[in-house]
Amino acid sequence: MAGKLYMVPTPVGNLDDMSPRAIEVLKKVTLILAEDTRTSSQLTRHFDISTPMSSHHKFNEHDTVDHVIERLEGGEDIALITDAGTPGISDPGFLLSRACREADIEVETLPGPTAFVPALVNSGLPCDRFCFEGFLPPKKGRATRITALANDPRTFIVYESPLRLVKTLGELATSCGPDRKASVSREISKLHNETVNGTLQQLITHFTENQPRGEIVIVVGGNNDSSQPKVHKNKYAPDND
């Protein structure tokens, strides 16, 4: 009888967000696949989890999937965790989950932490319908993707690094207009977590004057004004990369 793959969310900040069930699963499986074993070792030590761990990340997942499937087909239960949050959400996980489905191996994803949900709710922007974009393309297709999001009537969410935050806010202001309502959340559930709400222009000003740190989630209100111009001259984005 084949084993089961468990997709186990881990805290995005505060370790107290780790659920008792997630700890139980990680203790009972045969193997833990981790995005970064050094980062995950801190988690397992904290919760006294002694299960063997192996590396599984975006640079090796194509090479390791077949071996993992073989072990699952042999009856082992295996868990996949990432550095923070739910596997598959802008992190490794999709490829292995798909391979398991194709091999008729059961996959069970535990509910748990993910950064964009608290950021969306904290923003105060409509969350009955929304679009999660993850990280924007770094170069090719980036402008096209931003334009499409700018014209979407739904609230949309993107992840960004602190080093590129102001530049990205400027690009969003170009397509969405500087007065579009938005929100930036950082360091979610950590000691110095912060959510700043305002227009895109206000956020550009704030984070130009206050250098951002930590993991960043940008939430932008949808385009509900049919008279709004589709493209705006960008005088807000900085020249530097």
Q: Please say if the pLDDT value at position 228 is more than 80.
A: no
Closest CA to 40 of 98, 79, 95, 1: 79
pLDDT class for 233, splitting at 50, 70, 90?
Answer: very low
Main-chain phi, psi angles of 104, to 5 degrees: 60, 35
CA distance 10 to 22: 8
The pLDDT > 90 percentage for the chain reads: 85
Residues 6+ apart with CB under 8 A from 168: 136, 158, 160, 218
CA distance 113 to 22: 11
Please report the pLDDT score of residue 224 as a whole number: 86
Q: Please say if the pLDDT value at position 227 is more than 60.
A: no
Please report the pLDDT score of residue 238 as a whole number: 41
Greater model confidence, 207 or 226: 207
pTM of full prediction above 0.85: yes
Please answer whether residues 241 and 157 qualify as being in contact, where contact means their C-beta atoms are separated by less than 8 angstroms.
no
pLDDT in tens, 81-134: 999 999 999 999 999 999 999 999 999 999 999 999 999 999 999 999 999 999
Please report the pLDDT score of residue 84 as a whole number: 94
Structure tokens at 144: 């096209």
CA distance 89 to 240: 29
Q: Please say if the pLDDT value at position 226 is more than 80.
A: no
* Neighbour count for residue 226 (Cβ, 10 Å): 6
pLDDT class for 52, splitting at 50, 70, 90?
Answer: very high
Torsion of CA 182, 207, 217, 170, to 10 degrees: 60
pLDDT class for 192, splitting at 50, 70, 90?
Answer: confident
Please answer whether residues 4 and 101 qualify as being in contact, where contact means their C-beta atoms are separated by less than 8 angstroms.
no
Greater model confidence, 240 or 157: 157
Please report the pLDDT score of residue 225 as a whole number: 62
pLDDT class for 1, splitting at 50, 70, 90?
Answer: confident
Residue 185 to residues 56, 98, 195, 217, 218, Cα–Cα distance (Å): 28, 31, 4, 5, 7
CA distance 220 to 159: 12
Q: In what order do the strands lie in the sheet with 106-109?
A: 53-55, 31-34, 78-81, 4-7, 106-109
Secondary element (H or E) of residue 80: strand 78-81
Residue 176 to residues 194, 196, 197, 207, Cα–Cα distance (Å): 23, 18, 16, 18
- Tell me what the mean pLDDT of segment 147-161 comes to: 97
